[in-house]
Structure 1
Amino acid sequence: MERGDDQRTKEDIGKYGCSVMHVFDADGDLPSFAYSIGIQQETGAPEAFVIGLKRPMAHSVINEYNRRTREGERFEIGKYYAGFLGGFEVCIGAVPRSTYDEYFGQNIDFYDGREFDVVQIIYPTTKGVWPWAPDASEAFIQGQPILAKQG
């Protein structure tokens, strides 16, 4: 993490309980994603990750997770939860550590050797189709890769 990023991350964590990192592919070939930094340090709950949503929506989902964990709510792997995306539920999955180097570089730097956990917040299409459903489109599946184990 560069010095300016490190300072801003610390300020965000102090003010909001986490910082949100948004990552995108400038060529547009890969889906953008966002993840939290600091939630586990502040609340003991895992960090949050969402992929395939535009920046404002991705940040909203991460911030809602942060708000709820700060209020003491804990999310179970494989369970469905309302209140993140309008009238749609989301599913929580455990992200395997084997993906951390590829996706969570800022968290690796922030935690500096300390272990941390990450959950993926998985969402359906606007028609309620989940990415693991047989009728999920290939475009939807490619746009929201599932790193997580659902249970």
Structure 2
Amino acid sequence: MGEDFAAQNQRISDNIREYGWHCLHVFPTKEGQDKFSYSIGFRESYGAPEVLIFGLEREKAHALLNECAQLLKGGHTIVPGVEDGNVLAGDYKVVFKPVRSDSFGEYLGTALRYYQSKPFSAMIMFLPDRQNRFPWQAGYDDIPAEESLAIV
């Protein structure tokens, strides 16, 4: 059985104190859902939105979120809807799009419990395919993005 909410909040708080953030990995419980990972603590540590990444394995998602944390720690700002060339190597860019607030309960439940009544925002980091196309562009051929696009 999983840990209780108090123990989970303590672990999250400990990680934020030590690393500046906590990474939560969420696995599908229903058919048609995608796995995703997200930060908890970007708001608290850097005054930035929490970031979600859909469809990647734990290690890759964690590495990308860690890169975001390092950038934020250095003063980088996440700007929605703008191609950001600072997160990925090479000529690849990412785009952040805000998560609709009506999706927080379903996708950010642990963050809501952690922050309690403190307001926070969240963005999905969209990754390009090998031809630098994003999921909303014709010809995109990479990680399935229907679920993530539906909540922005």
Per the normalisation by structure 1, the TM-score is: 0.87
Aligned residue in 2 for 1:130: 134
> CA offset at residue 123 of structure 1?
0.6
Q: What is the distance in 1 between the residues matched to 2:24 and 2:102?
A: 19
Worse overlay, 81-90 or 44-53: 81-90
Q: Secondary structure at the match of 2:13?
A: helix
Deviations 1:66-90 (A, max 9, x none): 1111111112111111243333210
Q: Deviations over 1:44-76 (max 9, x none)?
A: 111111111111111111111111111111121
Which residue is 2:77 aligned to? 74
**In structure 2, how many angstroms separate the alpha carbons of the residues matched to 1:51 and 1:92?**
12
Distance 1:59 1:139, change over 3 A: closer
Match of 1:12 in 2: 15
Secondary structure of 1:98's partner?
Answer: helix
User: Which blocks of at least 5 consecutive residues in structure 2 are unaligned?
Assistant: none
> 1:90: which partner in 2?
94
1:103 maps to 2:77: no
The 1:124/1:35 distance shift into structure 2, 3 A limit, reads: same
Counterpart secondary structure, 1:128: coil
Is the alpha carbon distance of 1:37 and 1:141 closer, same or farther for their aligned partners in structure 2, counting shifts above 3 Å? Answer: closer
> For residue 54 of structure 2, what is the aligned residue in structure 1?
51
Give me the whole-angstrom Cα distance separating, in 1, the residues matched to 2:21 and 2:88. Answer: 20
Paired-residue identity, % = 26
The structure where strand makes up a greater share of residues is 1
Higher RCO (Cα < 8 Å, 6 or more apart): 1
- Give the letter aligned to residue 117 of structure 1: S
Partner residue in 1 for 2:117: 113
Following the alignment from structure 1 to structure 2, what is the Cα–Cα distance between the partners of residues 140 and 78? 19
User: Which deviates further from its counterpart, 130-139 or 46-55?
Assistant: 130-139
How many residues align? The count is 147
